[in-house]
Amino acid sequence: MEHILHRARGRDAVSVDPGEVVTWFDRVRRDLPWRRPEVSAWQILVSEFMLQQTPVARVEPIWLAWIARWPTPSATAAAGAADVLRAWGKLGYPRRAKRLHECATVIATHHDDVVPDDVDVLLTLPGVGSYTARAIACFAYQQSVPVVDTNVRRVVARAVHGMADAGAPSAKRDEAEVAALLPDDDSAPRFSAGLMELGALVCTARNPKCGVCPLSECAWRSAGFPPSTAPAKRVQKYAGTDRQVRGRLMDVLRASDTPVTRAQLDVAWLTDTAQRDRALHSLLVDGLVEQTQDGRFALSGEGADAAVGAPSSEARGRTQPLRSQADNTKS
């Protein structure tokens, strides 16, 4: 499959007219709150953390509540880890919340409470990868840098290379391709946002709305919309996964202001006790949950007693018995 993609990319490629993308984006852009001019770089950074693997509709209300409560990095850093995990709610992948809290602490402590504007410096922050660093530089600081997400890769694959899908990602190649499309004027950030919007609203993975596409030239359309030659992607299920079990356990912990007993956690998932133990152990390893000396469990930083915390580095990667209150009565 990879050699087919390389051969397709080697053909004479169609370019994308930045003016068409920017004009279309200015007309139809969604009024997302983190796009408003008064929003700070920190608040844009928060939105980027939340939007990773989570739909816009679920992010918007939680983002609004978050920035009202913690509008700056220092405000977020001053909050307890448990408060941050509660505010994250059911966005999923709560390790993002932990990393966001760590990121806020670094910015407040080492960057005078100001989000850096340099991509290389941004990459040193906890939880900030290549996409997020460039998104902040582009959308918060109006820099002309390539911002590549799944939607952008799909638009480029179709419009430029005539392929139904983009194949396996390659950060270096993908960023170079998008960089080559950027206009040479100050419209580059709007062009970047427009490419993302085009992939999200029109050039979608399934049922693309080609009839309303603003691009006058599209290699995929010119080629007669050839179907994808990639193997069908497996649909990720959620029901019954460790992710679901972790979420159930976190629900119990978020709902309590005090550490909870093992019995209170056990009722959250009765289907598979081994899976429940594995999920709880992984929450301890990730530093999202801690175990108190008396065997109860709490969100990070909220153990009433001295916490046992995450297993040692030697224990990471293997499931170990978790101490229950019954174990404590024997000692």
Could you give the CA distance from residue 274 to residue 18 in angstroms, rounded to a whole number? Answer: 54
Residue 12: which residues within 8 A CB-CB, separation 6 or more?
Answer: none
Could you give the CA distance from residue 28 to residue 281 in angstroms, rounded to a whole number? Answer: 46
What HEC string does 67-103 produce? HHHCCCHHHHHHCCHHHHHHHHCCCCCCHHHHHHHHH
pLDDT of residue 14: 75
* 3: number of Cβ within 10 Å: 7
Buried b / exposed e along 211-227 (16+ C-beta atoms within 10 A): eebbbeebbbbeeeeee
Buried b / exposed e along 175-209 (16+ C-beta atoms within 10 A): bebbeebbbeeebbbbbbbbbbbbbbebbeeeebe
pLDDT of residue 4: 34
Could you give the CA distance from residue 34 to residue 56 in angstroms, rounded to a whole number? Answer: 11
Which ranges of the chain have pLDDT less than 70?
Answer: 1-13, 304-331
Q: Is 201 helix (H, G, I), strand (E, B) or coil?
A: helix
Give the strand pairing for 297-299 and 289-291.
antiparallel
pLDDT of residue 196: 98
pLDDT of residue 13: 63
pLDDT of residue 77: 98
Domains delineated in the chain: 2-222 (1.10.340.30), 242-329 (1.10.10)
Question: pTM of the prediction?
Answer: 0.86
* 252: number of Cβ within 10 Å: 16
Q: Which of 238, 248, 239 is nearest to 90 (CA)?
A: 248
Q: Which of 63, 67, 124, 110 is nearest to 89 (CA)?
A: 63
Taking a C-beta distance cutoff of 8 angstroms, is the pair 164, 4 a contact? no
pLDDT of residue 6: 38
The residue type found at 157 is A
Could you give the CA distance from residue 223 to residue 210 in angstroms, rounded to a whole number? Answer: 13
Taking a C-beta distance cutoff of 8 angstroms, is the pair 85, 288 a contact? yes
Residues involved in catalysis: 48
Counts for the chain of helices (H) and strands (E), in that order: 17, 2
Could you give the CA distance from residue 110 to residue 177 in angstroms, rounded to a whole number? Answer: 34
pLDDT of residue 331: 30
Taking a C-beta distance cutoff of 8 angstroms, is the pair 106, 125 a contact? yes
Could you give the CA distance from residue 83 to residue 67 in angstroms, rounded to a whole number? Answer: 14
Question: Phi first, then psi: what are they for 298, rounded to 5°?
Answer: -150, 160
Over residues 37-51, the pLDDT tens digits come to 999 999 999 999 999
Structural element, H or E, at residue 299: strand 297-299
